[in-house]
Chain A
């Protein structure tokens, strides 16, 4: 590392201590030894620690973190400014983040003076929702409202069964039966069973899990890593939060099985910053069970759910997606073969090994204009109408499937079977299992504008189609909504849809026009 000009401001003792708690106590000798092992991956944890101590990242804290971790100060600044929840300007210790996203909008969300508007907080079943961050010697985050009725559905459950039966999320099970079973079977047999199962990834892309696992297991390069993707930031999604809050031991066990089967040395679980209860319970479960799993926490960036952006984030870089190929199974976290799986995907694995329930189920996050919002679990292929009935929806005006990256359905399309093929035939996607119901009085124009704003806000900014395309998309929609049109908006939007889909680097840009396009062409909103 060359000599770096370092930010001259000094940190306060409190900031120093907070950063040292992450980076280790400063010691000139070990700091020099550490040069052979880069510690840049501790940058985001260090910035988070400093901010949680004093409420924002001061120049002194930024400089100290770069110094301790040997990250060029400009780079550290680039990373800090990437995340919506890292503040580089002075802020009070307590900050209220009010969700203004799709479901909370339907519930009449309003941002009081002094509060910050926020994208979906993953609390959509209790909309309108917010989060309070409280910095200080004992920092914490509060979800508001703090709780909601646990599960609206009580029968036919598979992944949610343990939760419905009232397991204690804070005490370990008597045994990890599925992990025991895996050890009896051996890694090869576990791989075979997962491959023979119909399990497809639940994070959105629906990739066969067994194929992914085998590809990593066969990689000669070592070590292998497992990353559990718990960034869950697709507006309307809250399933992984419920799983982590209520069944953290189940997730940790599932990760241990995946690591065993694919020869992973270490596992990471990357959870979005807005899930304090999940952090607490997962950390407890990790500590108690002793698996080599590390909890990493985001800082407000939807794009970090994209698997390669997630690696960048863990490694201490800006969460900018990498170009693929190479794919993570070959070149993943720290450049090593990596299994990335969604929380729900992993929680299917114990049932495959224990052969206790052959049904292929999916979790659905139902919110919006329904009597019983919450998390549902249905066998794949169940008609959407049945789910809407369970949740107590009046005949809706439209349903948004798959979240902001998904698409809108008309009232006459609600018979579609909830399966990958069924969704594809209807021109939509199950995505992350989002079902937002728009009742008779809902404002669909408002919803479309919010979706466009979301993508504009969350674009990482790396590639031209998405960085500028999402802005032009939002501008064209605003012209349509306000009636001050140029006359060619629909053609402009069609071109933007094509270039974002075809030429963006990652799934964010590639799907940024989906919901807007379906609102215009399927619902006739703003058409």
Chain B
């Protein structure tokens, strides 16, 4: 199937998205709510592109290519919408631990403070209600990734949802009960997909609070989970000879980035065995 992106005509596979095609051509398209392992929800709108003969812009992450499609990924209209999306997000949400979002703000020269100091935000208290991970929804861009990860895409636990409507829409358990009273099984797969640090392992949160989180010094060590026979790949994030976080690579066949409570959070025994 032939499509034209930014003046270059190329062959792409039927069924791929504009994002796939753009990546194939080396065009860097910003995304926030898109995840390689998740069903596209196309809500953040930072990936929008201009498709000729379409009235509005379209989300690259979910729109399928069509024969003869002519796409512009860097027109004035595209740049304006991407800039505005970042200005709007930055004006309402604390993006301080969201590296991609910060990079897009820079790339599109967005000025989130242009709406003035009285702008309504989602600022609120951090939810620390369990030992394994914290939820700071002041940092939540409502990308739906955690809900998808907890639901049909990965975990099938359905502990969290989007509740409320409009600006009041937010991630919540049923009746907003604390996590220990909810259906959560602490797999941490929501933490793994969260692009903003709104969901964060308690170990990372505590170190950040103490001013001791030094990501640039951390080593990443790949290993296999010791607990069961599934054989999940683990990436241990090590700082000062201690494991500070465990993730799993998104492209690993077995996990697709997912783990269970033991693999993700059950590493403390490793450190306690170490002689003091």
Give residues in A with beta carbon < 8 Å to B. Answer: 2, 4-5, 7, 59, 62, 66, 72-78, 81-82, 84, 88, 301, 318, 323, 325, 456-465, 467-472, 475-476, 479, 486, 488, 492, 495-496, 498-499, 501-505, 510
Knowing A81-B165, A502-B77 touch, does A4 contact B158 (C-beta < 8 A)? yes
Per the bound structure, the CA–CA distance linking A34 and B57 in Å amounts to: 42
Task: Determine whether the beta carbon of A62 is less than 8 Å from that of B174.
Answer: yes
B45-78 Cβ-contact flags toward A at 8 Å (1 or 0): 1101000000011010011100000000000010
Binds A, one of B21-29, B112-120, B233-241, B262-270: B112-120
Instruction: Give a binary string over B180-212; 1 marks a CB under 8 Å from any A CB, 0 the rest.
Output: 001100000000000000000000000000000
Do B59 and A323 touch (CB < 8 A)? yes
Q: Are B174 and A73 in contact (CB under 8 A)?
A: yes
- Is B173 close to A, CB under 8 A? yes
Given contacts A479-B116, A495-B84, A499-B80, 11 further A-B contacts (CB under 8 A): A2-B156, A84-B165, A323-B59, A325-B63, A459-B166, A461-B142, A463-B43, A472-B119, A495-B80, A502-B57, A503-B81
CB atoms of A72 and B116 under 8 A apart: no
Q: Please, how many angstroms separate the alpha-carbon atoms of A496 and B119 in the complex?
A: 14
Interface flag for B258 (CB, 8 Å): no
CB proximity to A under 8 Å, residues B137-192: 141-142, 156-169, 172-175, 182-183
Known contacts A7-B174, A465-B88, A503-B85; A74 and B164 CB within 8 A of each other = no
Q: Is there contact, CB below 8 Å, between B57 and A75?
A: no
User: Is residue B89 within 8 Å, beta carbon to beta carbon, of the partner chain?
Assistant: yes
Question: In this complex, what residue of A is CB-closest to B86?
Answer: A464
> Does B91 count as interface, using CB distance less than 8 angstroms?
yes
Residue of B nearest to A81 (CB): B163
Task: Collect the chain B residues with CB atoms within 8 Å of residue A456's CB.
Answer: 166-167
Find the B residue at minimum CB distance from A500.
Answer: B84
Evaluate contact between A499 and B163: CB separation under 8 angstroms. no
Contacts of A504 in B (CB 8 A): 45, 56
Q: Which of A325, A495, A496, A503 contacts B57 (CB 8 A)?
A: A503
Within the complex, the shortest CB–CB distance from B39 to chain A, in Å, comes to 11
Ordered nearest first, which 3 A-B pairs have the shortest CB separation?
A461-B169, A72-B158, A78-B161
> How distant is A490 from chain B, measured CB to nearest CB, in Å?
13
Most chain A beta-carbon contacts within 10 A, residue among B41, B156, B164, B166: B166
Cross-chain contact of B116 among A5, A461, A486, A498 (Cβ < 8 A)? A486
Question: B163 near A2 (CB under 8 angstroms)?
Answer: no
Q: List the A side residues contacting B118 at CB < 8 Å.
A: 475
Interface string of B75-100 (1 = CB under 8 A from A): 00100110011001101100000000
Q: List residues of chain A with CB within 8 A of the CB of B244.
A: none
Q: Tell me whether B247 is interfacial, beta carbon within 8 Å.
A: no
- B-side contacts of A486, CB under 8 Å: 116
A461 touches B182 (CB 8 A): no
Residues of A within 8 A of B115 (CB): 472, 475-476, 492
Q: Give chain A residues whose Cβ lies under 8 Å from the Cβ of B77.
A: 498, 502
Contact B81 A502 (CB under 8 A): yes
List the B side residues contacting A463 at CB < 8 Å: 42-45
Assess the A505–B158 pair: CB atoms within 8 A. no
Give the A-binding residues of B (Cβ under 8 A): 41-46, 48, 56-57, 59, 62-64, 77, 80-81, 84-85, 88-89, 91-92, 114-116, 118-120, 141-142, 156-169, 172-175, 182-183
- Within the complex, the shortest CB–CB distance from B36 to chain A, in Å, comes to 18
**A465 nearest in chain B by CB position:** B45
Which of A75, A84, A465 is within 8 Å of B158, CB to CB?
A75
B120: A residues at CB distance < 8 A? 471, 475
Residues of A within 8 A of B157 (CB): 2
Q: A472-B88, A498-B80 are in contact. Are A77 and B167 (CB under 8 A)?
A: no
Q: Which residues of A contact B89 (CB under 8 A)?
A: 464, 468
Q: How far is the CB of A336 from chain B (nearest CB, A)?
A: 20
- How far is A412 from B7 in the complex, measured between Cα atoms in Å? 45
In the assembled complex, the CB of A4 is this many whole angstroms from the nearest CB of chain B, namely 6
Partner of A76, one of B119, B160, B174: B174
Residues of A within 8 A of B119 (CB): 471-472, 475
Q: Which of B85, B92, B161, B166 sits near A77, CB closer than 8 Å?
A: B161
Q: Which interface residue of B46, B48, B56 has the most chain A CB atoms within 10 A?
A: B56
Q: Which residues of A contact B44 (CB under 8 A)?
A: 463-464
> Shortest CB–CB separation between residue A433 and chain B, in angstroms?
22
- Please give the distance in Å from A63's CB to the nearest CB on chain B: 8
Rounded to whole Å, the gap between the CB of A309 and the closest CB of chain B is 11
Query: Is B172's CB under 8 angstroms from A74's CB?
Result: yes
- Chain A CB within 10 A, most for which of B119, B160, B183: B183
Q: How far is the CA of A503 from the CA of B60 in the complex (A)?
A: 11
Decide if B57 touches A74 in the complex (CB within 8 Å). Answer: no
Q: A464-B89, A496-B84 are in contact. Are A77 and B175 (CB under 8 A)?
A: yes
Residues in chain B near residue A499, CB distance under 8 A: 80-81, 84-85, 88
* Other-chain contact of B81, A59, A76, A498 (Cβ < 8 Å): A498
A residues less than 8 Å from B43 (CB atoms): 462-464, 505
A-B contact pairs, 8 of them (CB 8 A): A7-B174, A72-B159, A72-B183, A73-B183, A462-B43, A468-B167, A471-B120, A475-B120
Among A82, A84, A471, A501, point to the contact of B167 (Cβ < 8 A).
A471
Assembly CA distance A9 to B11 (angstroms): 58
Contact, CB under 8 Å: A464 / B88? yes
A476 to B88, CA, bound (A): 13
Beta-carbon contact of B84 and A77 below 8 Å: no
Distance in angstroms from B58 CB to nearest chain A CB is 9
Q: Are A4 and B183 in contact (CB under 8 A)?
A: yes
Chain B residues with CB under 8 A of A475: 115-116, 118-120
Q: Specify which of A82, A84, A460, A498 is in contact with B84 (CB 8 Å cutoff).
A: A498
- A74 near B166: Cβ-Cβ < 8 Å: no
Q: How far in angstroms is the closest Cβ of chain A from B81?
A: 4
Q: How far is the CA of A76 from the CA of B160 in the complex (A)?
A: 11
Contact B163 A78 (CB under 8 A): yes
Provide the bound-state CA to CA distance between A136 and B158, in Å: 33
Q: Which residues of B contact A479 (CB under 8 A)?
A: 116
Contact A503 B48 (CB under 8 A): yes
CB contacts (< 8 Å) of A496 on chain B: these are 84
Are B158 and A74 closer than 8 Å at their CB atoms?
yes
- How far apart are the CA atoms of A19 and B208 in the complex, in Å? 48
Q: How far is the CA of A510 from the CA of B167 in the complex (A)?
A: 17
Given A460-B165, A461-B168, A498-B84, residue A74 in contact with residue B173 (CB < 8 A): yes
Beta-carbon nearest neighbor of B162 in chain A = A78
Interchain CA distance A461-B157 in the complex, whole Å: 24
Give the residues in chain B near A505, CB-CB below 8 Å.
Answer: 42-43, 45
In the complex, A5→B182 CA distance in Å? 7
Residues of B within 8 A of A5 (CB): 159, 182-183
